[in-house]
Structure 1
Amino acid sequence: MTTLAAVQGDITTQRVDAIVNAANTAMRGGGGVDGAIHRAGGPEVLADCIARFPHGLATGDAGWTTAGRLPARWIIHTVGPNHAAGERDRSLLLSCYRRSLEVADQLGARSVAFPLISAGVYGWPVHDAVAAAVEAITGAASSVESVVLVAHSTSDFHRVSAAVRAHTD
């Protein structure tokens, strides 16, 4: 049984087996969470992305790299749908969480930290991004023991905390 918790903070400082990166299809770093993870992880992360994903990664899929200088052991990269660019298929967003947990299982990760995938620069409505995260994580058959949803802003943290509480009550 996977436990789910909400935390407010910086995903790059989470002490878990794996953190999830909201990447873009090119897998070469970017803005938002992706840029922060690449900066904090160091050049090893980009080098591993280039080696493992020479042709990028499809929306809704996930794969892993080293975590470089981060406290986590691995980074699980997943590409969320870009709502702002017209990618509005919710099943792709759900797939990001499910595929990330499948990759975590393949790695033997027991603890994973997720950001709210697609809720930043990709413009997915935050209320639905939170609902999709909770739905996908709690509905997944996974050996991961502990998942934290990391919210950067106070308002997102309150939304995530409420959704986690509602699910566990």
Structure 2
Amino acid sequence: MSTQLDLVQGDITQQDVDAMVNAANSSLLGGGGVDGAIHRRGGPEILAECRKLRASHHGKGLRTGHAVATTAGLLPARHVIHTVGPRWSATEDRTELLASCYRESLRIAAELGARTVAFPAISTGIYGWPLDDGARIAVGTVRAAAPSVVEEVRFVVFDDRAHEAFARHLS
């Protein structure tokens, strides 16, 4: 069975899914954009689990391209999978790090038994990754890596520009 890929324009924190992916910063302690929205709407349980992760396995923070799961707190999901995307660089190819965010998030989703997963457009906001290239990497990586347990992957984007970019690569 192949994984269904969907595109939604809206607020990722309102998606009723098994696992919601957070475009986190390496501290795991919240931030701006998607990260801040997930922490605010999810409530203190998410931050509490992130602090436990920092006190144990991830004392120096989560490395770029890696992922880790916590509770979803008050969000309409069972889990939040935090992944740290790379910052865009015009002089260094970081494509593999961005692809790793999607692969690692899917691996963890499968370990959790998640059948539905919502992804934001990782690294395409404040981290400066060009939107069209970010969409290409996201869609290509998910198509190649989605484990069979994951029945649906939803790309949840915020605006018309992102929707158009993802739609191009999904068609």
> TM-score band (shorter)?
over 0.9
1:53 is displaced (CA, Å) by 3.3
Verify: 1:9 aligned to 2:33, yes or no. no
Verify: 1:155 aligned to 2:156, yes or no. no
- Percent pairwise identity: 54
Whether the 8 Å contact between 1:4 and 1:148 is mirrored in structure 2 is yes
Q: 1:85 to 1:52 in 2, by over 3 A?
A: farther
Whether the 8 Å contact between 1:66 and 1:75 is mirrored in structure 2 is yes
Q: 1:51 to 1:81 in 2, by over 3 A?
A: same
Q: 1:141 to 1:15 in 2, by over 3 A?
A: closer
Aligned to 2:97: 92
Tell me, which stretches of 5 or more residues in structure 1 are unaligned?
none
Count of matched residue positions in the alignment of Structure 1 and Structure 2: 165
Structure 1 letter corresponding to 2:159: S
CA distance in 1, matches of 2:113, 2:35: 23
1:79 is displaced (CA, Å) by 0.4
Aligned to 1:30: 31
CA distance in 2, matches of 1:114, 1:15: 12
Whether the 8 Å contact between 1:41 and 1:67 is mirrored in structure 2 is yes
CA distance in 2, matches of 1:73, 1:121: 27
1:93 is displaced (CA, Å) by 0.2
Aligned to 1:69: 74
Q: CA-to-partner distance for each residue in 1:35-83, whole Å, 9 max, x for gaps?
A: 0100000111100111123322110000100000000010000000011
Aligned to 2:110: 105
Equivalent position to 1:81, from 77, 86, 108: 86
1:85 is displaced (CA, Å) by 9.6
Q: Which region of structure 1 is more displaced relative to structure 2, 151-160 or 74-83?
A: 151-160
Tell me, which stretches of 5 or more residues in structure 2 are unaligned?
none
Structure 2 letter corresponding to 1:96: C
Structure 2 letter corresponding to 1:109: A
Verify: 1:20 aligned to 2:25, yes or no. no
SS at 1:93's partner residue? helix
Whether the 8 Å contact between 1:58 and 1:79 is mirrored in structure 2 is yes
Q: CA RMSD in A?
A: 1.4
Equivalent position to 2:152, from 125, 136, 146: 146
CA distance in 1, matches of 2:90, 2:39: 23
Q: Which region of structure 1 is more displaced relative to structure 2, 149-158 or 112-121?
A: 149-158
1:87 is displaced (CA, Å) by 6.5
Q: 1:41 to 1:150 in 2, by over 3 A?
A: same
CA distance in 1, matches of 2:86, 2:39: 20
Structure 1 letter corresponding to 2:155: L
